[in-house]
Chain A
């Protein structure tokens, strides 16, 4: 299984600002995924990030709000733009390895 780290682990932000979350994997992977977990809820896929191409967003998520970068096979960033309190969630990155997905520890975001 892959070892995945995320930075920051948590942050408290003011509305209207943006936060960039980093995800680092200890091995090269083709596909990385970004999920959102709202308080007390399950995980919802935001987008799939492939190296060398634009991220693919799920219904209800747009690039202007959640721009993603994937500069190489071990790293990705997710930016939460123009934040509002409704963006308060845990944001998780994951990677797929032979039909099994492994997750980072998550970034807990609170927007005031």
Chain B
């Protein structure tokens, strides 16, 4: 079946550093969503992207919908300890469906 591959799988960074992660698919997506999951919690929606090339920000977070429509990127600027968690990309593999598949996740750890 379709998969969304995220890289890196995990990363340790120093507080204050910028972080970049990406999500790639073997097929075209029309919507990309980025979520963050804290331990013991459900995923929380960070950013939604609907158009190829779209660049959207939410505070220190910026996400881009890749031009090929097969990838998306999430950047976090000036990381802080509460950025720790698992970041998932997600999207509907079939246009017009509400069924989403989730990426493999990027686990972020911030060193104070």
Residues of A within 8 A of B (CB): 1, 4, 31, 33, 42-45, 48, 58-59, 92, 94, 96, 99-106, 108
Contacts and interface: CB of A to CB of B under 8 A. Distances in A.
Contacts, number: 50
Interface residues of B, number: 22
Contacts of B98: 31, 33, 48, 96, 101
A100 B45 contact: yes
A96 B97 CA distance: 11
Given A42-B88, A43-B88, A103 B42 contact: yes
Interface of B: 1, 31, 33, 35, 40-45, 48, 50, 88, 90, 98-105
Chain A binding surface SS class: strand
A101 B41 contact: no
B86 to A, nearest CB: 9
Given A42-B88, A43-B88, A108-B40, A101 B105 contact: no
Contacts of A104: 42
A45 B45 contact: no
